Homo-oligomer: A and B are copies of this chain.
Amino acid sequence: MPVVLLTGFEPFGGQTVNPSWQAVQRLAAAWDGPAELVTLELPVDFRTAGPALAEAVERSQPDLVVAVGQAGGRPDVTVERVAINVDDARIPDNGGFSPVDEPVVPGGPAAYFATLPVKACVAAMTAAGVPASVSQTAGTFVCNHVFYQVMHELAGRSAGGPVARGGFVHVPFTPEQAAGTRHPSMTLDVITAGLDTIVRTSLSTGVDLRVTGGTTH
């Protein structure tokens, strides 16, 4: 049975919850799919998130890694296309650290593309009534940092052995978080259905769909 490592984040930015970790827990509690799910809550911390992720990969030896983070203000579940090798923090992380234009991995490649079937995941969520789209940027904060670390870790391990797939998914605020703001929101039920669809689609899709998910700018 394949092993799936699913990560969410702790709260940050003044929030008391993080829907990424809430939804990961929900999915794990209800999971009955064709894989073993391993879950992990990551710190919103540039310095400790990467080692925690690497340690979990080492321990669980996953075939698939889906890291999930909160993107407050986005209206839909976004499957990220590319992680870039830069940390540029607009706000401090939970450890009070604000790197500016430093590499995630010194000497690492400028970027990694997700190896999830990004287009198939978006198409499957759309068919299931879950608002979703491809995103061309995961930002430059801890989400992009972890996304890059995931891909870097999997790239390093793939040499000579079977290749594990990985990627990153951003999810909206929940209604409880959005109440009192005018941000869009999505219930944990819908977010969890989206993550369930992403995991199942990634397990069952060999070759990604050739449909556009691009933007002109």
Contacts and interface: CB of A to CB of B under 8 A. Distances in A.
A86 B113 contact: yes
A94 interface: no
A137 interface: yes
Given A212-B88, A214-B90, A137 B140 contact: no
Contacts of A72: 216-217
Contact of A89 (B143, B190, B212): B212
Contact of A214 (B125, B139, B212): B139
A215 B140 contact: yes
Interface string A189-213: 1100000000000000000101111
A158 interface: no
Main secondary structure of the interface of A (DSSP, over half): loop
B178 A131 contact: yes
Contacts of A91: 216
A145 B89 CA distance: 27
Interface in A52-102: 69-76, 81-82, 84, 86-91, 98, 100-101
B187 A184 contact: no
Contacts of A208: 101
A21 interface: no
Interface of A: 13, 69-76, 81-82, 84, 86-91, 98, 100-101, 109-113, 119, 125-133, 136-141, 143, 170, 175-176, 178-187, 189-190, 208, 210-217
